[in-house]
Chains A and B, each alone.
Chain A
Amino acid sequence: MPRRKLAKGPLHSILSEDWADAPGIEQRLQPECFSDLRLDQIVAAVIAGREAYDLTPIFWAPLPSVEAIGYRQAVFRDFEAPAIATCVTSFAERMRGVRALLEQSRKFYFPLQKQRLHLDAIGEYCRAVTGLSRAMAEANPGSRGLLEVRRYLDDYMQSEPFQALSAETGRLQTDLADIIYTVRIDGKRVEVSRYAGERDYAAEVLETFAKFRQAEVQGREFTFRSRPEMNHVEEAILQRVSRLYPEIFSGLARHCERHCDFPDPGIVAFDRDAQFFLAWLEYLAPLKKAGLRFCYPVVSERADAIRGLEMFDLALARQLVAEGGQVVVNDFELHEPERILVVSGANQGGKTTFARAIGQMHYLASLGCPIPGREGYLSRVDQTLTHFEREERVETLRGKLEESLERMRVLLERATARSLLIMNESFDATTVSDALYLNRQVLRQVMQRDLLCVCVTFLDELASLSEETASFVAQVDPQDPAKRTFKVLKRPAEGLAHAMAIARKHGLTYERVKERLKP
């Protein structure tokens, strides 16, 4: 009998409320932008240790609507409350225990052992469900997703079959735990009896010599090869113990037979889905501790103005925090009609990182996750498309350019007015005039398709291409022009200003060179 029927109505997933979204809620194919945006690294780190839950497909599927994003964000907010995270974590831990016990029980052949493992699995399951339900009621979640879980759990817990299962399991476990038996080994003879109050000899020894104690002494500890299976001597002993307590052991056999398939599918699904939220928040925790900010972005279908404050590249930040480094955060803001961020400025000055951060921000927002940054107002993005210069060896320059343009063509074909395109030094491998030409052409198409676009380039001219472009510049330290600050600010492209500053530092400006040439 499927347990699902016990509750009043089926359980919605906490990943998505709308059954219509369900088929797309997980994807089996990694989006192409993943490696360019380093989302692959991020996700790998997020799910590390949770491989058994198979969470990646969730990360590969942007949500199809603003409502779906809101639903998941609300669940995330609930999970941020320590009470909820803790209770779900301990629930998950117990469910892992349940699976491990069932697995063992399946593997063994000695009935008295199989039955006990199965019984303990049921016991652990009941504790898991009861604990979760109780803690959930106490934690008082606010999201529709978790309220639904709470309601479902309440119904399930109060159902008669669960009550009976829990009570009988508990009784059997107590009875078994109370059994104490003795074994006397004398040569080849093994005698199994009920325990009759014989004194603990080790305690007696300790007591005799305790008066010599000068300080806490750690007695030698022995570790015995932990083999979960029993050998035939142990089985023989257990068999005799079962004969000493026949009622308990026959009760055990009956119980296991009756409840061979006990976990509720809805609860099993929740156990898995919850890991998505826990995993993400756990990944953010050390970064939060390091002082970085995260936010729930306000996501609209099409916003007039978008902005992100104090955002950063998550993958890089994770690495920097681990190494004890400083993470530089950046802001961006676009107002209609601006749709294209043109990022120029100092070489190695953080332009790509800035672009990546914007890409990550949009993608992660479309998963309903809290994202890097203090504040975010974003448009929902259906696809994040990236055009990064590839390392692959292509025989000729022409070949390489062709390959690059071909990729761009595919991207543009796929793009919709909801898509984000990130171009990172595209067509870099050509002459300046070619690069300028190609970029202009592509950006024109971008404008035609009304894409949101980030364009990282060394071509200042692109910054003032039209009223849709907004110029962002990677900054250097004004005191020491050779020092990069990794700050990117919205301001007109600077042309040669940066190069002149470096020249001055080396005493190679016009005046300085003339001066130095003086005898």
Chain B
Amino acid sequence: MKAHLLYRDRDLFPSGEPPERTSRSSAAFRERASPVGGESPRMTDLTRDLALEVLYEAMAAGDAYLHEVAKRVVPASLSDREEIRYRQAILVDCVSHPEVVRRMYAVATSAIDRERQVWGWTFRHPEVLVRRCVQVLEIFRDHLGQLRGIADAQSAAFRSEGFTTLFAMLARELDDAFLGVMKEHLRRLQFRDGLLFSARLGDGNRGTDLLIRRSSTPTPSLRERATDWMHQLMGSQPASYVYELADRDEAGFQALQALRDEALASVAGALDVSTRHIRGFFKMLRTELAFYLGCLNLRERLAGKGEPLSLPEPADGEFLLQARGLYDASLSLSMAERAVGNDVDTGQARLVVITGANRGGKTTFLRSVGLAQLLMQCGMFVPAEEYRAGVCKGVFTHFKREEDPTMRQGKLDEELSRMSALVDRLKPGSLILLNESFASTNEREGSEIARQIVRALTEGGIKLLVVTHLFDLAESLLRSPPGPTLFLRAERLPDGHRTFKLREGAPLPTSYGADVYARVFGTNESSASPVQGGAIVEDRSGESEDNDERRADQS
């Protein structure tokens, strides 16, 4: 019995349950749920680079379990358009009937929590475990009944394939007949007619393979017992022999209890497995609903402050993206006002080179693309008025790392090794976002390294968005692009004001000459710098320090 709300034909977790909430390590998860090559370094880099934590918080809305599931589902992108549309349809149902979805989630959660409350210390004695399992089964029976009730009442209102199938499955599997069988088991497990088990002769003729049997006949009557006795007396072979313990034979009763336990081990094991199966079912249901609950929570947050959300259109993998009003959801979630949206259409381009003013919204734009892409590929709505993008084989990020002051010497080394690890995982059709990569060395070296990498990746069928300050790089890509390339530039108005909008535009040369001149001659108004050779001299005030530092590092 599967909910299959996340995938039409498989579970989120092949093992049936997400790793225990208590375990902080995501190692187990990496192995379990990485439908599209979601390996650990990328996962953590993605989380950091795209500020996914903020998004998860919004999805969780205080429920740690929702957080856990969001964290696992969002980065594990779908690569198939059909799969994306499957989730999108379910999401639409959820948005129409949020209360039903929340109720189902509550039933699943309650079943799991109430089971946990049933006493449960060590079960060295099977008979004790049997008694516990009976209690748990009573609880589960009640909750399964509730689920069935919801299915009966709501199935007509839901349209998506996922929910229709789920409700039909619940109605079919949890029908009255099944709930009746469950009741019958609960009665039989009281063992009112005594305990019947079979055995074989094992090592040294000790009884072995003890198995509880369901007796077809009730306990023998007094008359039958008399017959047995007669048989014994007459030496003919009766069907059974009886042994009765003396009333004060305490050792005997202990031995008997040991036998009961050994015999009940088979049933205790079966009940243990069965209750775990049912618990697994509830957990699985909770997990799959949790994702959609998270989507509802996120929607409430963003829609609440007037941000647009739209159902994206997953396009052919060749295409990069086309968006209107695309904004960085993580950024919006962490501030009061609305985030600035961008319009972009990459057309034929598979490489986008973004240059321009510092703090002009380049990184934010990069993030908004990465985030929208991830959200689209996990079946969610995206933070944009409109979003159409090719489905890519994994989203990867290579962002400049600001921290690690202790590792100055090895910065380029670190960047290169990170890039090398990414290259191991990139496939044709992957999307990679480069944010000021290789700026840790001088411009010439950094440009040459980046140029070779960018060219190789583009030609290898990887889609790239490249934010760079390396003019040498940007300019050479403009001169001889490795394929259809779109150049974007962070806008800065003539008065120096930044709009955080990106416009199509070729990279502009930056001029140190002006800065140097200004410094040497004591001019402070760099914004008043004249136009040089037809290009606007960039405002480097924010970067000149960086560059000085960089030069100092190398000396």
Contacts and interface: CB of A to CB of B under 8 A. Distances in A.
Partners in one complex: yes
Interface string A100-141: 000010001000110111001000000000000000000000
Interface stretch (B210-218, B424-432, B492-500, B517-525): B210-218
A214 B242 contact: no
B207 A120 contact: no
Contact of A188 (B2, B204, B253): B253
A194 B201 CA distance: 13
B239 interface: yes
Contact of B198 (A113, A180, A211): A180
A185 B260 contact: yes
A423 to B, nearest CB: 58
A116 B205 contact: yes
Contact of B214 (A112, A201, A233, A234): A201
Nearest to B246: A188
B267 interface: yes
B269 A177 contact: no
Contact of A198 (B14, B15, B216, B243): B216
Task: Identify the interface centre among B2, B214, B268: most chain A CB within 10 Å of its CB.
Answer: B214
A208 B200 contact: no
Interface stretch (A215-223, A370-378, A431-439, A456-464): A215-223
Nearest to A211: B1
B512 interface: no
Interface in B423-459: none
B17 A215 contact: yes
Contacts of A190: 242-245, 256
A255 interface: no
B243 A180 contact: no
Given A191-B220, A193-B239, A214-B280, A186 B204 contact: no
B36 interface: no
A198 B213 contact: yes
A237 B263 CA distance: 14
Interface string B230-274: 000000010111111101000111011011111101111111111
A193 B228 CA distance: 11
Contacts of A113: 204-206
A238 B185 CA distance: 31
Interface in A197-248: 198-206, 208-215, 217, 219-222, 224, 228, 230-234, 236-238, 240-241, 243-244, 246
Contacts of A246: 237
A214 B281 contact: yes
Given A176-B201, A190-B245, A190-B256, A198 B16 contact: no
Contacts of A208: 181-182, 185, 274
Nearest to B181: A208
A232 B251 contact: yes
Nearest to A246: B237
A193 B220 CA distance: 12
Contacts of B173: 211
B255 A233 contact: yes
A103 B88 CA distance: 71
Contacts of B182: 208
A106 to B, nearest CB: 12
Nearest to A233: B255
A238 B126 CA distance: 23
A384 B16 CA distance: 68
A417 interface: no
Interface in B130-150: none
B548 interface: no
Contacts of B247: 188
A222 B273 contact: no
Contacts of B240: 191-194, 244
Nearest to B215: A198
A89 to B, nearest CB: 23
Nearest to A116: B205
B280 A217 contact: yes
Given A179-B200, A181-B198, A185-B259, A206 B244 contact: no
B200 A180 contact: yes
B211 A228 contact: no
A445 interface: no
Nearest to A181: B199
A201 B267 contact: yes
Given A104-B204, A222-B126, A205 B270 contact: yes
A296 B204 CA distance: 47
B283 interface: yes
A240 B265 contact: no
A196 B253 CA distance: 26
A182 B220 contact: no
B278 interface: yes
A8 interface: no
Nearest to A186: B194
B204 A117 contact: yes
B14 A215 contact: yes
Contacts of B241: 191-193, 240, 243-244
Contacts of B256: 185, 188, 190, 233
A183 interface: yes
A116 B206 CA distance: 9
Contact of B213 (A191, A200, A213, A234): A200
Contact of B196 (A120, A184, A206, A224): A184
A195 interface: yes
Contact of B195 (A180, A184, A228): A184
B401 interface: no
Contacts of B211: 200-202
Interface in A118-168: 120
B72 to A, nearest CB: 16
Nearest to B265: A222
A189 interface: yes
Contacts of A192: 240-243
B545 interface: no
A230 B271 CA distance: 29
Nearest to A198: B213
Contact of B273 (A183, A187, A217, A238): A217
B213 A214 contact: no
B193 interface: yes
Contacts of B129: 220
B284 interface: yes
Contacts of B476: none
A203 B199 CA distance: 15
A186 B195 contact: yes
B258 to A, nearest CB: 7
A66 B378 CA distance: 80
Given A215-B17, A231-B255, A198 B214 contact: yes
Contacts of A232: 251-252, 255
B215 A184 contact: yes
B271 to A, nearest CB: 6
Contacts of B204: 104, 108, 113, 116-117, 120, 228
Contact of A186 (B188, B193, B273): B193
A237 B252 CA distance: 12
Nearest to B2: A214
Contacts of B271: 205
Interface in A417-439: none
A226 B11 CA distance: 41
Given A192-B240, A220-B123, A233-B255, A228 B206 contact: yes
Interface string B370-407: 00000000000000000000000000000000000000
Task: Identify the interface centre among A188, A219, A231: most chain B CB within 10 Å of its CB.
Answer: A219
A221 B273 CA distance: 11
29 contacts: A104-B204, A115-B205, A116-B201, A181-B198, A182-B197, A182-B199, A184-B194, A184-B215, A184-B219, A190-B242, A190-B244, A198-B215, A199-B214, A201-B188, A205-B185, A205-B271, A208-B185, A209-B273, A212-B281, A213-B277, A214-B2, A220-B272, A222-B265, A224-B265, A233-B252, A238-B201, A238-B205, A238-B207, A241-B201
Given A185-B194, A188-B253, 6 more contacts: A116-B201, A182-B197, A195-B198, A199-B214, A208-B182, A222-B124
